[in-house]
Amino acid sequence: MKIIVISEEWRIKNTTHTSFEYIHYRSAIKALDNLKEIMPNVVIIDTRDFPRHWKVLAQHLQSEHENVQLILLTAIDQEGEITLHAHAIDPDIAIIPAKNTNNIISKIQMIVFPNEQFEQLPNEDLYKMPLKNVFFSAHCIGESIVGDVLELSIDKLVLRLHHTPIECPRDAKLENCELRINDTIIHPHCTVISDTNPLVIALTWHGMSKKAQAIRLVDEIQKAEE
């Protein structure tokens, strides 16, 4: 599998034990010129090195090489803004916050081989515990919903309510849905599955593929639990 990396510096570590073939370009123009010849499976752009040009590169890849998976490396404080702009171009663009370059390879594998990786995601074991750095709030029919997060997975959240009873019927769409993980705030779309206490809520993210959703959620939870 061929991966083109477009960055001024080589920041990806631990590449010797993977089956990926990496081609590194410091010039985005040269990389684009050689796309047809190399025919990569994945293109990685470090947005920190191309803050004014990565969107043009992403749009070109989306229109001319739609079968190529694009991955953007971002600074931690730019992740939200870049995710917003990237998913307006293509919801399947994957975002990797480059806080720790040691785990980039595992995230690339998760993106490139999603079916294999999803089977290994620890949704049933890792998150069945109170998550001390994860907070949830929303409104249902004008009433605030606040509680302790008991379980959190790609598409579901279980919340022990602080205040009961609460009139929030099954299938209700929650408003102002906010999931705070450490210092990161995510705004998923929330639907009530079970109206008992604990409350079970289905999570989806508009404009994000399940692949991108899983990567972001797992990454944020692991950072919060460190």
**pLDDT band of 6, cuts 50, 70, 90:** very high
52 plus 115 within the same structural domain? yes
Residue 96 is predicted with a pLDDT of: 83
87 plus 56 within the same structural domain? yes
Total structural domains within the chain: 2
138 plus 178 within the same structural domain? yes
pLDDT tens-digit series, residues 183-212: 777 788 889 988 778 888 888 766 556 656
Distance CA 209, CA 179 (A): 18
Which CATH number goes with the domain that contains 154? 2.40.10.220
138 plus 97 within the same structural domain? no
Domain that residue 80 falls in: 2-120
Q: Look up the pTM and report it.
A: 0.53
**pLDDT band of 99, cuts 50, 70, 90:** low
* Beta-carbon count within 10 A of 142 CB: 7
**pLDDT band of 13, cuts 50, 70, 90:** low
State the average pLDDT over residues 113-117: 51
DSSP annotation of 139: E
Please check whether residue 44 lies inside any domain of the structure: yes
By the 10 Å C-beta count (0-12 exposed, 13-18 middle, 19+ buried), 220 is classed as buried
**pLDDT band of 102, cuts 50, 70, 90:** low
176 plus 73 within the same structural domain? no
Residue 126 is predicted with a pLDDT of: 36
Please check whether residue 126 lies inside any domain of the structure: no
Residue 125 is predicted with a pLDDT of: 36
Which CATH number goes with the domain that contains 98? 3.40.50.2300
Please check whether residue 7 lies inside any domain of the structure: yes
Please check whether residue 187 lies inside any domain of the structure: yes
Please check whether residue 29 lies inside any domain of the structure: yes
Residue 43 is predicted with a pLDDT of: 92
pLDDT tens-digit series, residues 131-174: 667 888 888 887 888 888 887 776 788 888 876 566 788 888 99
**pLDDT band of 47, cuts 50, 70, 90:** very high
Residue 106 is predicted with a pLDDT of: 66
- Asked which of 120, 151, 172 is the last residue of a domain, the reply is 120
Distance CA 123, CA 125 (A): 6
H/E element holding 223? helix 210-225
- Asked which of 120, 148, 179 is the last residue of a domain, the reply is 120
100 plus 195 within the same structural domain? no
Q: What percent of the chain has pLDDT over 70?
A: 70
204 plus 95 within the same structural domain? no
91 plus 138 within the same structural domain? no
Q: Number of helices (H) and strands (E) in the chain: give both, helices first.
A: 7, 12
12 plus 103 within the same structural domain? yes
What does each C-alpha distance from 209 to 48, 54, 158, 202 come to in angstroms?
23, 20, 22, 15
